[in-house]
Amino acid sequence: MIVMKFGGTSMGDAECIRNRVGEIVLDAVEKGKEPVVVVSAVGGVTNLLLSAAEAAIQRKPEQARALVEDIAKRHLDVLEKAVKQTRFALDASSYITEILEDLSVFLKAIGVVGELTPRSYDIVLAVGEKLSARILTAVLEDRGYPAEFISLDQVIVGEFGADSENYWPKVQDFFKSRLKNVREGAVPVLTGFFGPTPNGILKSVGRGYSDFCASLAGAVREAEEIQIWTDVDGVATANPTKVSDARILERMSFGEMAELSHFGAKVLHPQSVWPALKANIPIRILNTFHPQAQGTLIVDETVEANQPFKSIAYKKDITVIRICSYGMLMAAGFMAKVCERFGSYGISIDLISTSEVSVSLSVCEKPSEIEPLLNDLRKFGSVDVASDLSIICLVGAEIQRNESIFGKVFEALRRKGIEVKMISMGDLRINLSLVVDNSNCDDVVRLLHQSFFAE
């Protein structure tokens, strides 16, 4: 059994859904792979839904209505082109109409109540994946294969209580029981949205949540492999839109993938790593538009390739906070108190680097978004804030063996006169992170890729 997740571009239009996704799924069925399919919303639809919710809360009902009409038109067009037999098309179109009527009513209520809670966002967002999954189900049936549409928008009903820790195991239990009841021989088509979640899916998981859904589904079913079908051939040595000669990696470890996706690689949602890792199920990144490519396999073992490191990722617009304090000298527990302050404001720290009297910490937020935290930190000592910075992260198990890597990195930057504001190396020695000005970010990525990967 395998899990196959298709992203927004793969679900982009009728042609893609019927001829690409349909073909790939049916090929897996015929090869006896017993696929469980997970889909994202049709490309762009999640953004339209978010705009509709914003319009509703801003009391712009006309705008909200126009957006819902646009969503309806897009899906009904796709359905008409992708499904030939009327009986399958009719069932799906009445579902689409009904869901969008409910959405209109809900958006009106948001305007009346004047409240857009995380739970309301979840209800609105769920629509995207319900529509795309319903269409793909009809496409598979239309092509002569039994399929079962499964909406995960009611995974946990009622309150979560204060204890959201128990939430993910509960979700997995739900997935397990729901998948057990699938009709014999039918291909389950799951909505990549699963919820409602504590604090809302945008906060608890974030955009790209359907990757995480696929990983949860794969873990509960003990899949052979979790396939993430996207629009690139796999994980590359750098972002191919910035570095034209970036190459695709054949294999990498979960740890490396976690670092890369956290530091900006978009191919996989960072949270998707843990359910797969815990259940020891490999994840493979594949290209819907080039299915013959073998993709990148992510496994639970150290992978040492014959190259200086695996890949360079970057994250722009970060802020570095430096706290300088003589109170730190020989003081046990100082760091714990500082970190506790960040936690209490819900701000997560990416990099830390320390000396005896100073500590520098990087965060994603802009200084204006964290003023209360900054004021609070001043009680520890003097606080300097530098913004408009980028983290550049070299990732790979090879780093720990490659003694010359540091020299080469700093020499390349020195030659170009690029200043490094902060450095951090994880203890696992699979990543080396540098902080530079935003304005230098793209150049540094290209420069480092060129220095290490040029033939």
Q: What is the CA radius of gyration of the chain?
A: 24
Alpha-carbon gap, residue 296 to 285, rounded angstroms: 5
Number of residues forming the site for Mg ion (CB under 5 A): 2
Interaction of residue 208 with ligand ASP, rule CB under 6 A: yes
Of residues 22 through 61, those in contact with ligand ASP by CB under 6 A are 40-41, 46
The residue from 12, 188, 192, 396 that contacts ligand ASP (CB under 6 A) is 192
- In the complex, what is the shortest distance from the CB of residue 213 to ligand ASP, in angstroms, rounded to a whole number? 8
User: Does residue 218 touch ligand ASP according to CB under 6 A?
Assistant: no
Q: Looking at this protein, which amino acid is placed at residue 44? A: G
Question: Minimum Å distance from CB 40 to Mg ion?
Answer: 7
Helices (H) and strands (E) in the chain, counts: 15, 14
Q: Is 9 in the site for ligand ASP (CB under 6 A)?
A: no
Q: Contact, 10 vs 288, CB < 8 A?
A: yes
Q: Looking at this protein, which amino acid is placed at residue 269?
A: H
User: How far apart are CB 130 and ligand ASP at their closest, in Å?
Assistant: 11
Contact partner, 453, from ligand ASP, Mg ion, none, Cβ < 5-8 Å per class = none
**Contact set for Mg ion, span 7-26 (CB under 5 A):** 7
Q: Which does 259 bind (CB under 5 to 8 A by kind): Mg ion, ligand ASP, none?
A: none
Q: How far apart are CA 455 and CA 444, in angstroms?
A: 18
Instruction: Supply 57's token pair.
Output: 């809360």
Phi, psi angles (nearest 5°) of residue 189: -115, 105
CB-side exposure of 444: number of CA atoms within 13 Å? 30
Give whichever of 264 and 381 is closer to ligand ASP, judged by the CB atom: 264
Helix H or strand E segment including 307: none
Three-class SS state of 112: helix
The stretch near Mg ion (CB under 5 A) out of 2-10, 169-177, 416-424, 432-440 is 2-10
Pick one of Mg ion, ligand ASP, none as the site partner of residue 41 (Cβ within 5 to 8 A by kind): ligand ASP
Instruction: Convert residues 309-348 into a mask of x (bound to ligand ASP by CB under 6 A) and - (unbound).
Output: ----------------------------------------
Would you say 24 or 48 has its CB closer to ligand ASP?
48
208 touching Mg ion, by CB under 5 A: yes
Q: How many CB atoms lie within 10 A of CB 33?
A: 17
Number of chain positions touching ligand ASP (CB under 6 A): 12
Task: Name, in order, each residue with C-beta under 8 angstroms of 264's C-beta and a sequence gap of 6 or more.
Answer: 239, 313, 314, 315, 391, 393
Question: If we measure between CA atoms, which residue out of 214, 39, 211 comes closest to residue 139?
Answer: 39
Q: Which residues sit at the interface with ligand ASP, rule CB under 6 A? A: 7-8, 40-41, 46, 128, 192, 207-211
Q: Which residues sit at the interface with Mg ion, rule CB under 5 A? A: 7, 208
